[in-house]
Copies of this chain bind each other. A is one copy, B any other.
Amino acid sequence: MHSAQPALCSGHDPLRLARAGMSRLVEPTDPTAMLLLAALGPVAALEIATGSRPIGAGEHPVFVCAAAEAGYGPRQADLRRALARWAPRAEQLDPSADLAVAARAGAWFAVPEDPDWPAALADLGLFQPVGLWGRGDRRLLGFRAARAVAVVGSRDCSSYGRQVALDLAGALAARGWTVVSGGAYGIDQAAHSAALATGTAHPATVSVMACGIDRLYPPGNHKLLRDVEATGLLLAEVAPGCTPSRYRFLQRNRLIAALSAGTVVVEARWRSGAQNTAHHADGLSRPVGAVPGSVHAGTSAGCHRLVREGTAVLVTDLDEVLELVQPLGAAPAPDRPAPRSVVDGLSDPDRVLLDALPLTVPSRPDHLSRVAGLSAREVLGGLHRLEARGLAQATGEGWRRRR
């Protein structure tokens, strides 16, 4: 392998180079690798992980201690087993080349030691990404997760789900929220598109991808992802050239959850990646909303499940999403402007009297009194109150309701 340390000639510091190497060498959230990183730092971690040197006599107890503190047993802390797993990739490791490939694709590589590293990722603890490969204006990386909402859902969405995603993401973006999603077909696509169309935040939208940053996957979203790159951000934790695998999709979802104040699942099947994102968000104590739909639609079954299981709050519009993701008390969902009713503000006896008033043939107060079950005094007072509101009308033969 190429050494992880020299390459100062390439203009990259050893730490960045080591993290780039780790991002190629290990799969996201590989616990043994994450423990090595946390215990010994990127440079030593990569040297040991690639087998270019054994773990030192002074380092080993630090590593074992870190594993025990993180609650890991002998299996996850089994370095020999992990080295066997990493060895096949170690042979061909060349982080400088990866950085060069990225640069050719217009991408950069950010590390947790950078001042603009998204602070929200720290909530992932041990499973913070090794680094982030990104495309788009690097200065946008410092966007505030507290002002971002993840809008996610199934690839095979319904036209209903697509419309809701467009509406919600568009409204959030117009209010200055960053919309985070996964760049996939279906709900993700609608969320990114709407955010690009109406967004006022910088970035208006962020797409966290499951493949290498040099790829624009899926192919049908090529144009969309180029648009995201132009004004927003594309992010990936796996190295350039990596294919999007099922495992990487699932791990990627934790980044979507971590980079936003809350996650809204617009449509999801009973078993789906969007549910996985929701559980990541829930695990990070980020609020989760789920949009209801027809009980006959398999595309909403996962949303209903999230609500039933208590993972998600049911949300139906922008105000309810804002109530979910904003700090407590910032902006409660306004009371829905309920259709005004003619009985609003009437006392109970006056409502009963109004019910008793005939629409056509007028009725005398003594008759109204019996029909309504009210005293003569209540009836007379009530009739005048209703008349004042334009609800009752006196005629020569008695009183009737005014339409």
Contacts and interface: CB of A to CB of B under 8 A. Distances in A.
Interface of A: 25-27, 30, 81, 84-89, 91-92, 160, 163-164, 243, 245-247, 269-271, 291-296, 300-301, 304-305, 307-308, 313-314, 316-317, 320, 336, 338-339, 341, 343, 348, 351-352, 355-356, 366, 369-371, 373-378
B308 A295 contact: no
Nearest to A355: B245
Contacts of A163: 296
Given A88-B376, A351-B246, A292 B270 contact: no
Given A271-B341, A314-B308, A339-B271, A355 B89 contact: no
A91 to B, nearest CB: 8
A314 B343 contact: no
Contacts of A338: 270-271
Given A26-B373, A271-B341, A307-B314, 18 more contacts: A27-B373, A84-B375, A84-B378, A85-B373, A85-B375, A87-B376, A88-B369, A88-B373, A88-B374, A246-B343, A246-B351, A247-B355, A291-B295, A292-B293, A292-B307, A294-B294, A305-B336, A308-B313
A85 B378 contact: yes
A373 B89 contact: yes
Given A351-B246, A351-B247, A378-B85, A294 B293 contact: yes
A352 B250 CA distance: 11
Nearest to A314: B307
Contacts of A271: 338-339, 341
Contacts of A247: 348, 351-352, 355
Contacts of A307: 292, 307, 314
Contacts of A355: 245-247
A88 B370 contact: yes
A304 B308 contact: no
Most chain B beta carbons < 10 A, residue from A85, A295, A300, A320: A295
